Amino acid sequence: MFIERYYSERDDKISFTQKQGSDFAKTLADDFNPLHDVDAKRFCIPGDLLFSIILSKYGLSQHMEFIFSGMVRAGVELVLPEPSPDLHIKDADDREYLSIHRVGDTSTDKRMIAHLTRDYVRFSGHAFPHILVPLLAEQNVMINPDRPMVMYQSMAIDLDTLDINASSLEIDHNELEIVGKRGQILLAFNLMDSGKIIGRGKKHMLVSGLRRYDQTAVDQVVASFNQRKQLFSCDSDVL
C-alpha cells in the first residue's frame, strides 16, 4: 500500500522519523497542525497515520474503535501484536499509545482499504480551519493563536457492509462542549458508496487553551495556516 513510505518496520516493530510523520500529515492529510512540523518542540506522529497502518496490517472490520492514550514521538518503536479483536499498541517499555476494538467481519481487500483510508485521512485532516473555526465561533471562543493545541482522542466506524466500491465521507453533524478553557469536539460523518449511506463514523478531539473570540486574531491564524500550506506546496514543486 501507499502507506509504507511513512514508517519503518523491523521485527514486528514500527517506528517513525519526524520527516515521515510530517510528510504524511502535509502530503496525504493536508494537515498543517504545528504539532506535525518537523522542527516542532512537541512533535508527535499523526493519529491518522497510526489509523492507516492498523487498517493496512489488520484489515477493515465492520465495527472499529480507536482510542489514543499517548503521543507517539519520533524514534519510538511500537510493537505490532498478533491479530485479535482487541489490539493494544505499546512500546518496548509496555507504555500504551493506542487501543483498537474490532467486531464483525473483516476485509483485507487492499484496493478498497487504500481508497477508504485516503478518503478518511483527507476528511480528517481538513478539520482545521474548515470545521473547527466556525464551530468554535458559534460559542464565541477560539484557539490560542500563539499555541494552537488540537489533539486526536478517539474515533469509531460502523459499516453496514464491507462490499464497498468507491467510498466517500460526508459530514453528518458536529458538536462542541466547552469546559473552562478546553473543548470536547465531536465530528460525526457518514460513509457513502454510490450515493447511499453504508456506514457511520465519529471522531473525538480535544482543543485546549480556548479564549474569547477575536475576529482579527482568527483571520491572522487562518492566513498563517494558508501561508504555511502555500510555502509547503511551493517547496514540494521545487523538489
pLDDT at residue 236 in the model: 55
Query: What are the E-state strand segments in 46-95?
Result: 60-68, 78-79, 86-91
Q: Distance (Å, rounded) from C-alpha 175 to C-alpha 171?
A: 12
> What CATH number was assigned to the domain covering residues 2-238?
2.40.160
Question: Domain spans of the chain?
Answer: 2-238
Contacts of 106 (CB under 8 A, 6+ apart): 58, 59, 60, 61, 62, 162
Specify the residue for cell string 449511506. Answer: 197
pTM for the model:
0.91
pLDDT at residue 1 in the model: 64
Whether residue 168 contacts residue 119, with contact meaning beta carbons closer than 8 Å, is answered with: yes
β-partners of residue 98 are: 68, 89
Specify the residue for cell string 523538489. Answer: 239
Rg (CA), the chain: 18
Q: Distance (Å, rounded) from C-alpha 217 to C-alpha 143?
A: 10
Burial 201-233 (b: 16+ CB within 10 A, else e): bbbbbebebbeeeeeebbeebeeebeeeeeebe
Q: In tens digits, what is the pLDDT along the chain, a chain of 239 residues?
A: 689 999 999 999 999 999 999 999 999 888 888 788 888 888 999 999 999 999 999 999 999 999 999 999 999 999 999 999 999 999 999 999 999 999 999 999 999 999 999 999 988 888 888 888 999 999 999 998 887 778 889 999 999 999 998 889 999 999 999 999 999 999 999 999 989 999 999 999 999 999 999 999 999 988 888 887 887 765 554 44
Dihedral of alpha carbons 12, 17, 19, 22, sign: positive
pLDDT at residue 239 in the model: 44
Whether residue 238 contacts residue 193, with contact meaning beta carbons closer than 8 Å, is answered with: no
pLDDT at residue 174 in the model: 94
Specify the residue for cell string 466556525. Answer: 134
pLDDT at residue 32 in the model: 83
pLDDT at residue 149 in the model: 78
